[in-house]
Amino acid sequence: MTNDEIKDLVLDIIEGIDDEADFASLDPDQPLREQLDLDSMDFLDIVMELRKRHQLQIPEQDYPNLATLNSCVTYLAPLLKDV
């Protein structure tokens, strides 16, 4: 997957969690949590959805890597390079 595809994947998953999420003014370097009002249950949903769609096993200690859109890309890129 390209970086852009990974971004789309993450945003698509978030849209599934909250179909009213507003991505227009999203800063990719700022935490998703505050900008999109996500809570820890929402992050768990992202992890489960990544496992469901791409068989990714993300251990709990790695959850902080999902904090911003760009950190998601950095973290997921090597894991999704063959997809």
CB 73 within 8 A of CB 7: yes
Alpha-carbon gap, residue 44 to 81, rounded angstroms? 23
Segment 2-41, which members bind other proteins (CB under 8 A)? 17, 41
* Residue 22 Cβ vs other proteins, minimum distance, rounded to whole Å: 16
Alpha-carbon gap, residue 27 to 50, rounded angstroms? 22
Residue range at the interface with other proteins (CB under 8 A); choices 2-10, 52-60, 63-71, 74-82 = 52-60
Contacts with other proteins, residue ranges (CB under 8 A): 17, 41, 44-45, 47-48, 51-52, 55, 57
